Amino acid sequence: MGSSLRSFIKDVRGAKTLADERAIITKQSAKIRTKLRDDHLPHEKRRVNIQKLLYLYILGEKTHFGQVECINLIASDDFVDKRLGYLAATLLLDESEDLLTLLTNMLNNDLHHPNKYAVSLALTSLGFLSSPELARDLYPDVENIIKNSKDPFLLKKALQCAAKLIFKDVSLLEIFNIEDITKILANHSVCTHGVLLGVAKILQSILSIGLNRGNDDGEDGVDYNSDVLSPLSLLLRDFFVRLENLNSKNIEPGYDVQGICDPFLQCEMIYTLKLYFQVGELLDSKHVLDYKNNFCDLLTRIATNTDSTKNSGQAILYETVKTIFSLNLNQPLRVLGVNILAKFLTGKENNTKYVSLNTLLNVVPQEPTAVQRHRKFISHCLQDSDVSIRMRALELSFAILDDSNLVDSVNELMKFLAKQDEDSKDLIVYSIDHLVDTFDFHTVKDEGWKLDIFLNVLKMVGSFINYEKINDILIIINNTTQLSDKSDFLRKLLTISLGEKSIEITDENIGWQLVLIWCIGEYGDLILNQNDESSTNIINESSVTNYLLNIKESYTTTNHKIFNYILTAALKLSIKVHDPKNIEQLRQLILGYSDSSDLLLQTKCNQYEIFFNQPVSVRKVILETMPKFEKINEKQNNIKKPSKSLISDESTNLISDLLGDDSKTEAKTLKSDNVQPIDLLEEIFGEKKAVNQSVKSGEEQEKSADLPLQSTKNSNVILPSDAVKIHDSTSLNVYASLLSANAGQAHIELYFQAKLPMSDLQTFCAVPKTQKLTLGQLHPSSTIEVNQICKQLLKISGSGKLKLRVKLNFHLNGSLSTTNEQFDHKFDKTL
Q: By CB under 8 A, what part of segment 458-517 binds another protein?
A: none
Q: How far is the CB of 267 from another protein (least distance, A)?
A: 5
Residue 71 as a binder of another protein (CB under 8 A): the answer is no
* 331 to 185, 324, 468, 774, 818: CA distances (angstroms): 34, 10, 42, 22, 12
Q: How far is the CB of 606 from another protein (least distance, A)?
A: 53
Residue 389 as a binder of another protein (CB under 8 A): the answer is yes
Pick the stretch among 170-178, 250-258, 566-574, 726-734 that binds another protein (CB under 8 A): 250-258
Q: Which of 92, 106, 161, 341 binds another protein (CB under 8 A)?
A: 161
Q: How far is the CB of 588 from another protein (least distance, A)?
A: 53
Residue 308 as a binder of another protein (CB under 8 A): the answer is no
Distance of CA 131 to the CA centre of its chain: 35
User: CA triplet 734, 739, 743: central angle to 5 degrees?
Assistant: 130
Neighbour tally for 138: CB within 10 Å:
21
- Residues between 11 and 40 with contacts to another protein, criterion CB under 8 A: 13
Q: How far is the CB of 604 from another protein (least distance, A)?
A: 46
- Residues between 592 and 621 with contacts to another protein, criterion CB under 8 A: none
Residue 430 as a binder of another protein (CB under 8 A): the answer is no
Residue 297 as a binder of another protein (CB under 8 A): the answer is no
Separation between Cα atoms, residue 111 and residue 109, nearest integer Å: 6
- Residues between 769 and 788 with contacts to another protein, criterion CB under 8 A: 769-770
Residue 198 as a binder of another protein (CB under 8 A): the answer is yes
Q: Which of 225, 306, 314, 819 binds another protein (CB under 8 A)?
A: 314
Pick the stretch among 311-319, 332-340, 491-499, 651-659 that binds another protein (CB under 8 A): 311-319
Residue 388 as a binder of another protein (CB under 8 A): the answer is yes
Q: Which of 35, 41, 75, 90 binds another protein (CB under 8 A)?
A: 90
Helices 263-283 and 311-326: angle between axes, nearest 10 degrees = 0
| Cα end-to-end span (Å), the chain | 59
SS3 806: strand
Neighbour tally for 242: CB within 10 Å:
19
Separation between Cα atoms, residue 795 and residue 747, nearest integer Å: 5
Q: Which of 6, 376 has the CB closer to another protein?
A: 6
Q: Which of 193, 791 has the CB closer to another protein?
A: 193
Residue 156 as a binder of another protein (CB under 8 A): the answer is yes
Q: How far is the CB of 170 from another protein (least distance, A)?
A: 15
Q: Which of 48, 461 has the CB closer to another protein?
A: 48
Is the CA virtual torsion 384, 386, 389, 395 positive or negative? positive
Q: Which of 74, 166, 176, 193 binds another protein (CB under 8 A)?
A: 193
SS3 533: coil
Pick the stretch among 348-356, 477-485, 707-715, 746-754 that binds another protein (CB under 8 A): 348-356
Q: Which of 352, 545, 568, 753 binds another protein (CB under 8 A)?
A: 352
Q: Which of 59, 68, 418, 691 binds another protein (CB under 8 A)?
A: 59
Residues 6+ apart with CB under 8 A from 754: 731, 732, 784, 785, 786, 787, 788, 789
Q: How far is the CB of 700 from another protein (least distance, A)?
A: 40
Is the CA virtual torsion 132, 133, 137, 138 positive or negative? negative
Separation between Cα atoms, residue 262 and residue 319, nearest integer Å: 14
Q: Which of 334, 353, 469, 791 binds another protein (CB under 8 A)?
A: 353
Q: How far is the CB of 294 from another protein (least distance, A)?
A: 21
Separation between Cα atoms, residue 67 and residue 98, nearest integer Å: 11
Separation between Cα atoms, residue 85 and residue 80, nearest integer Å: 8
- Identify the CA nearest to 178 among candidates 216, 218, 131, 146: 146
Q: How far is the CB of 123 from another protein (least distance, A)?
A: 8
Residue 315 as a binder of another protein (CB under 8 A): the answer is yes
Q: Which of 28, 29, 49, 51 binds another protein (CB under 8 A)?
A: 51
DSSP state of 779: B
- Identify the CA nearest to 91 among candidates 123, 131, 50: 50
| Peptide linkage before 365 cis (omega within 30 of 0) | no
Residue 52 as a binder of another protein (CB under 8 A): the answer is no
Residue 68 as a binder of another protein (CB under 8 A): the answer is no
Per DSSP, helices labelled H in 556-598 are 560-573, 580-591
Per DSSP, helices labelled H in 2-151 are 5-14, 18-37, 43-59, 67-75, 79-92, 100-111, 116-128, 132-148
Residue 318 as a binder of another protein (CB under 8 A): the answer is yes
Pick the stretch among 212-220, 267-275, 573-581, 662-670 that binds another protein (CB under 8 A): 267-275
Residues 6+ apart with CB under 8 A from 429: 464, 465, 466
